[in-house]
Amino acid sequence: MVEKVSVIGLGKLGASMVAAIASRGFEVIGVDIHQKTVDAVNEGREPVQETDLKKYLSENKKRIRATLSHEEAVLNSDISFVIVPTPSDEKGSFSLQYAAWAFKEIGKALAKKDGYHIVILTSTVLPGATRFGLLPILEKESGKKCGKGFGLCYSPEFIALGSIIRDFLNPDFTLCGEFDERCGKELEYFYSKVMFGNPPCKRMSLENAELTKISVNTFVTTKITFANMLADLCERIPGGDVDVVTDALGTDSRIGRKYLTGALGYGGPCFPRDNVALSYMARTLNSCADIAETTDRVNRAMAETITNKLRPVIKQGQTVAILGLSYKPSSHVVEESQGIYLAKTLSEAGARVVAYDPLANESAEAELKGKIVILDSAEKCLEQADVVLITTADTEFKQLKSDDFVADGKKTIVYDFWRILKDKLSNKENISYHPIGCSDNNELQANFLTELWGKETNNLSKAESL
């Protein structure tokens, strides 16, 4: 029975898992190679920024400790989660260099340990990596055989940055790739004691679990991209409204409403690279992943398409305000952010760009390197703006009022990619409001469709008369 847990790697997910597992009554040892990180955890401070992490670490400090030693952690726990970076390489695959080093250190510790210990890889990898890339390291360094001296599972988490602890404790399901029934059964039981609501545990082979993990993100991004396609189509038909269309689609139980919104492309540290990785794996296995490749291509082209659409609207020297620089609301992360991309390209096109994000200003400053002006409030951005782009559906932006956009009676053009201010800004004096995904030229589009289908019916009538 698992009573003590170790977590190898104290980044956003690892540190959050330490705090979450400790909150459920388990003693947890965290391992990291950075002394500052170890010291922070031992003092009950958060080593990284993440929602509620400081609170959970502080409240459960008596059950948590951290160390630089893999050996100390393994010898004093029953189960070890390995959550280290698996960065993308030049081929699009996931590098195992950090995981391999961690497994080497764990293997050395296992050689000194009496009794059974379970090692669980949580980092995202591709099919075959756990069994054929990392397991041999454990067996070589420990001198033991998997299934006898230790167990091995692949069990990634399905979380989102900004809500890691909540997502970890309340998953839709847990995924357990198991070397054998013994380790899988013990991990399933452990999860039943940690997660709320008794979520189902899907147990399977290591390779099936690795494919399942990478497939989840790939499917979600395909859904996002499909909704974005619908948004573009809705802009081209009279009365088109992507929210009306996707709300109806989402009612179908085969489809579902989540991630079916239609706005900007996806970003962040996981979604973009997972499509690329699945495509790489398919090619390597002499298969194909055309859907994943198309999703990635369309998503990467989206910000450029929007920039080209805005170029005729934005005059040289005008000020463009971008509200939202993180890749999603309530996040510090700007990796693969659509707002960042738009800020760069519009600045390069000659616009003066000002921007604001409730949490990501500092991260954006480092990314943009002074190319644009980052201000400390949305209101300050709006005071200067001729054109406004709302690029994240942040709660703070939802509170803005029409008066905020027309200081001193000036006229402002607003592009609202998430339609969060549709009720407040539509048909307001001095505001040219464009909710992306909705038609704003019904007459022109009606004329086009009249011509399109009028020709069709006229040709039919002529054929019947003959």
The C-alpha atoms of residue 377 and residue 434 are separated, in whole angstroms, by 22
The DSSP annotation for 252-308 comes to STTT-STT---SSPP-SSSHHHHHHHHHHHHHHTT---HHHHHHHHHHHHHHHHHHH
What is the reported pLDDT for 461?
Answer: 53
Q: For 195, list phi and psi in degrees, rounded to 5.
A: -80, 145
Angle between helical axes of 135-142 and 97-111 (0-180°, round to 10): 30
Could you tell me the CATH superfamily of domain 4-199? Answer: NAD(P)-binding Rossmann-like Domain (3.40.50.720)
Kindly tell me the sign of the dihedral angle through the C-alpha atoms of 274, 94, 170, 205: positive
pLDDT digits (tens, 9 = 90+) for 425-455: 999 999 999 999 999 888 888 898 998 888 6
Report, as an integer, the average pLDDT of 364-389.
Answer: 94
Report, as an integer, the average pLDDT of 195-215.
Answer: 97
pLDDT digits (tens, 9 = 90+) for 12-64: 999 999 999 999 999 999 999 999 999 999 999 999 999 999 999 999 999 99
What is the reported pLDDT for 466?
Answer: 52
What is the reported pLDDT for 442?
Answer: 82
What percent of the chain lies above the pLDDT cut of 70?
97
Q: How confident is the model at residue 115 (pLDDT cuts 50, 70, 90)?
A: very high
- Residue 218, both tokens: 């790939």
CA distances in angstroms from 146 to 75, 107, 132, 456, listed in the order given: 17, 11, 12, 69
Nearest to 331 by CA among 216, 157, 160, 83: 160
In sequence order, the 6+-apart residues with CB closer than 8 A to the CB of 122 are 13, 17, 81, 82, 83, 155, 156, 157
What percent of the chain lies above the pLDDT cut of 90?
86
In sequence order, the 6+-apart residues with CB closer than 8 A to the CB of 91 are 280
Nearest to 329 by CA among 393, 260, 423: 393
pLDDT digits (tens, 9 = 90+) for 133-190: 999 999 999 999 999 999 999 999 999 888 999 999 999 999 999 999 999 999 999 9
Share the mean pLDDT of the chain.
Answer: 94
User: Could you tell me the strand order of the sheet in which 4-8 lies?
Assistant: 64-67, 27-31, 4-8, 79-82, 117-121, 150-154, 174-178, 201-205
What is the reported pLDDT for 410?
Answer: 82
CA distances in angstroms from 9 to 91, 116, 189, 222, 430, listed in the order given: 25, 22, 23, 30, 53
Instruction: Give yes or no for residue 416 having a pLDDT over 70.
Output: yes
Instruction: Give yes or no for residue 65 having a pLDDT over 60.
Output: yes
Residues carrying CATH 1.10.1040.10, the chain? 215-302
What is the reported pLDDT for 463?
Answer: 53
Report, as an integer, the average pLDDT of 275-293.
Answer: 94
The C-alpha atoms of residue 46 and residue 12 are separated, in whole angstroms, by 10
Instruction: Give yes or no for residue 239 having a pLDDT over 70.
Output: yes
What is the reported pLDDT for 1?
Answer: 72
Q: How confident is the model at residue 458 (pLDDT cuts 50, 70, 90)?
A: low
Q: How confident is the model at residue 465 (pLDDT cuts 50, 70, 90)?
A: low
The CATH-assigned architecture of domain 303-439 is 3-Layer(aba) Sandwich (3.40)
Q: What is the dihedral of CA 139, 206, 102, 24, to 10 degrees?
A: -120
CATH of 215-302, one of 3.30.530.20, 3.30.70.360, 1.10.3720.10, 1.10.1040.10: 1.10.1040.10
| 114-118, 123-127, 159-163: the lowest-pLDDT one | 159-163
> Is 153:121 a contact under the CB 8 Å cutoff?
yes
What is the reported pLDDT for 78?
Answer: 96
Exposure class string for 407-426: b at 16+ Cβ within 10 A, else e: eeeeebbbbbbbbbbeebbe
Instruction: Give yes or no for residue 89 having a pLDDT over 60.
Output: yes
Instruction: Give yes or no for residue 306 having a pLDDT over 80.
Output: yes
What is the reported pLDDT for 21?
Answer: 98
Instruction: Give yes or no for residue 456 having a pLDDT over 60.
Output: no
Residues carrying CATH 3.40.50.720, the chain? 4-199, 303-439
CA atoms within 13 A on the CB side of 143: 6
Instruction: Give yes or no for residue 460 having a pLDDT over 80.
Output: no
Instruction: Give yes or no for residue 216 having a pLDDT over 70.
Output: yes
User: What is the pTM (predicted TM-score) of this model?
Assistant: 0.90
